């Protein structure tokens, strides 16, 4: 299994979130389809709540294409996510 990690920014419902980078740790899905990766994102709890409530949250990694996020749970500044093609 291939893992990627690094820092990125979040766009929530079309608006970039300023001054609040996230750390991501994702396992790349090797099966073709909508699901690209799954893993976790780490950031301020305030930002993580916004990501969970968002109609559309996008992770923009330092390198690579943007990924749509679907929250699967978490707390205390960590959210388990599925990363989907945008």
Task: Report the number of distinct structural domains present in the chain.
Answer: 1
Question: Nearest to residue 84, comparing CAs of 18, 38, 51?
Answer: 38
Q: What stretches in the chain show pLDDT beneath 70?
A: none
pTM of the shown model = 0.89
Domain extent, residue 59, equals: 3-85
Q: What is the pLDDT of residues 68-80, one digit of tens each?
A: 999 999 999 999 9
Alpha helix positions (H), the chain: 45-53
Average pLDDT of every residue of the chain:
93
Q: Strand (E) positions, 1-86?
A: 3-12, 15-16, 22-28, 35-42, 57-61, 67-73, 78-85
């Amino acid at each position: 299994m291939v893992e990627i990690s690094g820092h990125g920014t979040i766009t929530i419902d079309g608006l970039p979130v300023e001054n609040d980078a996230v750390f991501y740790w994702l396992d790349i899905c090797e099966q073709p389809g909508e699901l690209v990766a799954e893993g976790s994102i780490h950031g301020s709890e305030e930002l993580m709540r916004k990501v969970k409530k968002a109609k559309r949250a996008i992770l923009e990694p330092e390198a690579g294409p943007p990924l749509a996020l679907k929250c699967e749970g978490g707390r205390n500044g960590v959210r388990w996510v599925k990363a989907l093609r945008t």
